Structure formats: C-alpha cells, structure tokens
Amino acid sequence: MALKDEIARRRTFAIISHPDAGKTTLTEKLLLFGGAIHVAGAVKSNKIKKTATSDWMEIEKQRGISVATSVMGFNYGDYKINILDTPGHQDFAEDTYRTLTAVDSVIIVVDVAKGVEQQTRKLMEVCRMRNTPVIIFVNKLDREGRDPFDILDELESELKIKVRPLSWPINIGAKFKGVYNIFEHSLDLFTPDKQRVSERVEIESVDDPRIDENVGEVDAAKLREDLELIEGVYPEFDVEEYLEGRVAPVFFGSALNTFGVKELLDCFVQIAPAPRATNAEEREIKPDEEGFSGFVFKIHANMDPNHRSCIAFVKVCSGKFERNAPYRHIRSGKTMKFAAPTAFMAQKKNIVDEAYPGDIVGIPDTGNFKIGDTLTSGETLHFKGLPSFSPEMFKYIENSDPMKAKQLDKGIQQLMDEGVAQLFVNQFNGRKIIGTVGQLQFEVIQYRLLHEYGAQCRWEPISLYKACWIESDDPEALAAFKKRKFQFMAVDREGRDVFLADSNYVLQMAQNDFPKIRFHFTSEF
C-alpha cells in the first residue's frame, strides 16, 4: 500500500476522562469491535485500582504490566486504529498531557450523573491549546442521571467548546429505551447486555411510525420535540469546525452495555483526522514526506533495579519507519539503528519491520533518550509541542549521603529526562527544587534514586503556589523583575528563567507591577 493510503487509514487518538467515568470500559468495547479481544474484561488497562491509591509500589507494578496496553492498535474495516492509553491516576497527569501531544484527536468520556469533573476540565485545556478535535461520549445512560440538555449546557460552559449532539437518548436510567442516531438517522434500541450489540431499527426520518411502534407514542413524541429543539438551537454539524477543534460532537450511550459504542466508532473513523502535519522549530513536516521523522513522547522505565531498561515511545510523524535503518538522534548527533522496535497490535507487543505516520513504535532504551527527542532520516529537526506544565507541588531535594553526590545528580538527571517530574534550581541559593503534579511522585523518585542509583535523598518543605516561565521584550524590565524577585527566581533544565510564586496574591501583584513581563504557566510559549 502506498504511503499516502497508509496515512489516510490511520486514526491515532486517546480516550480521556475523570477516573470512573468509563474510559477503561469504553476502550475495551472498542477493542471488542476491532476484534482485538474476544471477551469483555480482557483489558488490564492503565487503570489503577482504587484500593492501591496510597501504595505506589503497587501502582508502579500495575503500570509496569500495562506497558503492553500503553498503545492499543487494531484494524477496524479499512482503518488502522491506535488508541493511546493514559494513566487514570491524577498523580500521573503529566504523562497524560504528554500523550495528548502524540494523538490526532481525542474522545472524552463523561458520566451522565456527574457531568464534567475536574480532571476532564484540565485535560480539555490541553486539547484546546493544541486545537485537538474532540468527540464527547456521555456514558452510563442506563443509570439515573441528569437531563441531557443540562449536560450539553454544562459541557459547553465547562469545557469551553461548542457542542453538537449527533445522537439523542430516549429517557435515561430505568426507563432508558435507546438512542436516536442523528448522524445516520437510525434508531438503536437498548437491551442491557454486556456482550451483545444493540438492536438497530432502520427508519426514514423522525416521523417514521416505526419509532412509535418501538418506543411507544409518548416517548416518540418527546423524542420529536427534543430533536426539533436540537435542530433549532444547535447549528448543523460541520466536520471542518470539528477538525479545527471548535465544535465537539456528542454521543450518548452506555459503555458497559456496549450501547452507542459502535455508532461512536463508526462516526469516529469517518470524521476523525488522519495523521496531520507536525510543527518542528525549523518547518512544518507533512506526514507523506518521504524522509522518516518522529519524536519521543513517553519513556517507560522498568522498575526492576537489575535491568535498568526503558522503552521509549516514538510517534512516527512522517515517512516510513524501518527496522535496522540508520536514523539520526538529533540531540546527540549520533546515528542509531534499532534492531528490535516493537509495535502494539491487538494487545501484543511484537517486533515490527515498518511503521507509518500515526503509529507508535516502542524502542528498547538504556538511557539514550529523553522526552521530546527527535529522530529523523538525516534532516535536523526539533519537534515542538511537548509542554511542561507548572507543577502543583514543590519540595527541596537534599542529599542525605555525601559520598553519593554524583549518583544523586545522575539519578535526578535521568529521572527528569524520563519526565517523572521537573527540576528547578534556585538562582539565589543554588538549591534544587523538584516540582510534581502529585504527592506520589516524590515517593517514586526517592525510591528509584535509592534502588537504581544507590543515592539517598530527603525532602524539605517549600511553600510555593506556581512556577511561571517569564519573558519580556524589554531586557531592562526583565532585569528589574529578576532583581526585585531574586529570592524567587530559578532556572529550569533548559536554563530558562522561572519565577516561583509563593501565593496567588504574590503572582497577581507581580503581574500588576510588571506589565512588561509575560508570565507563562506552560513551558511552551
């Protein structure tokens, strides 16, 4: 198959949700349709069991097991689908942010009873930054929940995106009868069954009497009324608007009952984007260019101290990736060949000979790779768009064993390369500060430094609100700011200036007092 056709048939996306909304269940059902698994319950996804939330060793074990499900590739009709899994635990949110840089679109799962929850809001912000097209699946319609119109309003206001229902539920909870598929004009009747696909009734239009026959006159009348309202309130669905990330189509269903999932998938493969151009610092790279290029968006470390090995996940951006072909690792300038790259198909990790744009290749690594690294056939390119976000928790990291200072430095450096957390060095006193999105990372870092590097660290408290990257077109204003705030200035790993604000108030005051300084809450600006 020609490169162009391989690209056109690929759909690489992530499913995101607040924990418990039904991401794992939906993923599993999509795999069932793709024939990648044959029974429900076969997916041990990145989902971290609730019982283990305080036991991070257990979490890491589960994460370790889930390497194989980090990417789930399968064929569906003519399409090649790659689902990139994201960790459910919010302490690993940074992993999710980075995964979102490697997808072409996103499906958001929302619980009909709970509506938009905190983590969904945050992840949507990341999608908005990149104009990633999103489809929303409102889940658990078999349970009592909120009025679908209220849900739509909430999606619009909380996720800050226009919405357009493409299916519509007939009642919810105990009285749930099915959904009307606005996209394809059909009626799907609900049968609570975890393994079976729902029954579809082909209809001509909303006036078709078969609707009344199947759901009863009262519900049919209500459906017609609702649909009329929808047509009046929401403009016609425009695929272009969706592709630009300006409108999100909404589907209703029940993942657990495999209801509404096929409709979602069928619409998804039709409208979701194939791999698109990627921006590098030098230029825009189109997927159908002949030369191979790709970037590392995730590094998964093996927790076994005897085998310090990792898998670097490379997203192919252009050309064809081939096993044993010489590729240039841009940061080091070295030429590398990969004898055992793996791809992820039907839940199995296999050695692959080739991969195409949109695909993810796993490369066994012993410490050569860093998040954001670019590989190419030769051209010097640096892919943009792997932002670090301001961490939410900060601690000083101190050496507890003076004999092992070198090991500690090396360990910290490598863990930061893997993207476990962020390091800032205070410009005033030279102390190292680690910033994370969750408490668990501090424990992970301490444990790994000891077991993998033989270094002992201890944490000391520091009260900080946010780290902001600062810049200005006026060097004098920048110098004045740094002078005034000298105790709170740090550098990140790239040597960029970072202001460590200890409270929201201080940050607001700084923004008011120094209008010429731009404050950024992500490292990409």
In this structure, how many other beta carbons lie within 10 angstroms of the beta carbon of residue 483? Answer: 9
Shortest Å distance, C-beta 277 to ligand G4P: 31
State the nearest-atom distance from the C-beta of 13 to ligand G4P, in Å.
16
Closer to ligand G4P by Cβ: residue 25 or 523: 25
Name the pairing type of β-strands 360-365 and 310-318. antiparallel
Q: How far apart are CA 259 and CA 463, in angstroms?
A: 48
> Exposed/middle/buried for 186, CB within 10 Å: 0-12, 13-18, 19+?
middle
Helix, strand or coil, per DSSP, at residue 225: helix
CB atoms within 10 A of CB 492: 18
Within 40-59, the residues that bind ligand G4P by CB under 6 A are 47
Shortest approach of ligand G4P to residue 421 CB, angstroms? Answer: 24
Minimum CB separation of residue 507 from ligand G4P in Å reads: 33
Closer of 24 and 96 to ligand G4P (Cβ): 24
Nearer to ligand G4P, 22 or 319 (CB): 22
Provide the minimum distance between the beta carbon of 196 and ligand G4P in the complex, in angstroms, as a whole number.
Answer: 14
- Residues 55/444, Cβ–Cβ less than 8 Å: no
CA–CA gap between residue 10 and residue 360 (Å, rounded): 11
- Residue 168 to residues 135, 137, 138, 260, Cα–Cα distance (Å): 15, 11, 10, 10
CA dist., res. 384 & res. 280, Å (int): 5
Instruction: Indicate the residue among 181 and 422 with the shorter CB distance to ligand G4P.
Output: 181
Instruction: Specify whether the CB–CB gap between 524 and 384 falls below 8 A.
Output: yes
Q: What is the DSSP string of 49-67?
A: -GGGTT-HHHHHHHHHHGG
Nearest distance in Å: CB 298, ligand G4P: 19
Q: Residue 306: how many CB atoms within 10 A of its CB?
A: 8
Window contacting ligand G4P (CB under 6 A); options: 137-145, 169-177, 321-329, 395-403: 137-145
Nearer to ligand G4P, 254 or 377 (CB): 254
Determine which residue in the list 25, 342, 374, 377 makes contact with ligand G4P, applying CB under 6 A. Answer: 25
Binders of ligand G4P among residues 79 to 98 (CB under 6 A) are 88
**Least CB distance from residue 258 to ligand G4P, whole Å?**
9
Does position 20 interact with ligand G4P (CB under 6 A)? The reply is yes
Residues 283 and 85 sit within 8 Å (Cβ to Cβ): no
Cβ closer to ligand G4P: 168 or 338?
168
Stretch touching ligand G4P by CB under 6 A, among 15-23, 159-167, 214-222, 334-342 = 15-23
Residue window 250-289: x/- pattern of binding to ligand G4P, with contact defined by CB under 6 A: ----xxxx--------------------------------
Of 77 and 192, nearer to ligand G4P (C-beta) is 192
Nearer to ligand G4P by Cβ, of 42 and 218: the residue is: 42
With respect to ligand G4P, which residue has the nearer C-beta, 43 or 311? 43
CA 65 to chain centre: 19
CB atoms within 10 A of CB 486: 11
User: Other C-beta atoms within 10 Å of 51: how many?
Assistant: 8
Minimum distance between the CB of residue 106 and ligand G4P, rounded to whole angstroms? 14
State the binding string over 238-257 for ligand G4P (x if CB under 6 A, else -).
Answer: ----------------xxxx
* Binding range to ligand G4P, per CB under 6 A, among 139-147, 175-183, 337-345, 470-478: 139-147
Give the nearer residue to ligand G4P in terms of CB position, either 29 or 315: 29
Among 23, 63, 448, 466, binds ligand G4P (CB under 6 A): 23
A 10 A CB-CB count for 434 gives 24
Instruction: Indicate the DSSP class of residue 372.
Output: T
Q: Which is nearer to ligand G4P, 26 or 423 (CB)?
A: 26
For 460, the token pair is 């000391």
Q: Which residues pair with 138 in a beta bridge?
A: 110, 252
Classify the phi-psi angles of 140: left when phi > 0, otherwise alpha if psi is within -120 to 50, otherwise beta: left
Q: Among the candidate windows 115-123, 134-142, 351-359, 460-468, which touches ligand G4P by CB under 6 A?
A: 134-142
| Smallest gap from residue 104 Cβ to ligand G4P (A) | 21
Q: Which is nearer to ligand G4P, 47 or 177 (CB)?
A: 47
Cα distances from 278 to residues 43, 72, 101, 319, 351, in angstroms, run: 31, 22, 10, 12, 26
Given the complex with ligand G4P, which of 24 and 82 has the nearer CB atom? Answer: 24
Q: Which residues contact 319 (CB under 8 A, 6 or more apart)?
A: 3, 289, 290, 291, 292, 293, 357, 377
Specify the stretch interacting with ligand G4P by CB under 6 A; choose among 135-143, 228-236, 352-360, 395-403.
135-143
Out of 85, 104, 142, 365, which residue is the one contacting ligand G4P (CB under 6 A)? 142
Q: Binding to ligand G4P by residue 17, rule CB under 6 A?
A: yes
What minimum distance in Å lies between the beta carbon of 416 and ligand G4P? 29
CA gap 54, 44 in Å, rounded: 20
**Measured in whole angstroms, how far is the alpha carbon of residue 46 from the centre of its chain?**
12
Q: Which stretch binds ligand G4P (CB under 6 A): 23-31, 93-101, 270-278, 421-429?
A: 23-31
Task: Please tell me the count of residues contacting ligand G4P according to CB under 6 A.
Answer: 18
H helices present in 250-368, as ranges:
261-271
Confirm or reject binding of residue 70 to ligand G4P (CB under 6 A).
no
Residues that bind ligand G4P (CB under 6 A): 17, 19-25, 47, 88, 139-140, 142-143, 254-257
